[in-house]
Amino acid sequence: MADAVGSIDTPDAQDEAAESKKTRKGGKRAKKGPLKRLALFYRQIVAELRKVVWPSRSQLTTYTTVVIVFVIVMIGLVTVIDYGLDHAAKYVFG
C-alpha cells in the first residue's frame, strides 16, 4: 500500500536500498599522493575563482570610499565619546 509520500514496499525504495549497500572503492576520496591532492586543491581554487563576479573599477572605488568614510565617522564618534568620558571622570574624581 503506497501513500502520497511513498512506501518502503515500492520497487524504487528497494533499488535505493540495494545501491546504498554496495561498497564504494575509489571515488573522490581515494588515497592519492600529496602532490595530486595539492594539484586538485589548486584546480578547485581556480574553478571557484572563475565563478566570482568581480566588481568594476567604479564599483570598487565606490565601495572603498564608503568604507573609508564609515571608518572616519566611527573614529570621530569614538573620539568624542572618549573625550566626554575623560572629562566626566576628571569632574567626578577630581
Give pLDDT tens digits along the chain (94 positions).
Answer: 555 555 555 555 555 555 555 555 555 566 778 899 999 999 999 999 999 998 999 999 999 999 999 999 999 999 999 999 999 999 999 8
Answer for the pair 13, 6: CB distance below 8 angstroms, yes or no.
yes
pLDDT at 65: 98
What single-letter DSSP state applies at residue 24? Answer: P
According to the model, what pLDDT value does residue 31 have?
72
pLDDT, position 94: 82
State pTM to two decimals: 0.49
- State whether residue 7 is helix, strand or coil: coil
Predicted local distance difference test score (pLDDT) of residue 34:
87
Measured CA angle at 13 (ends 22, 15), to 5 deg: 40
DSSP string of 42-79?
HHHHHHHHHH--PPPHHHHHHHHHHHHHHHHHHHHHHH
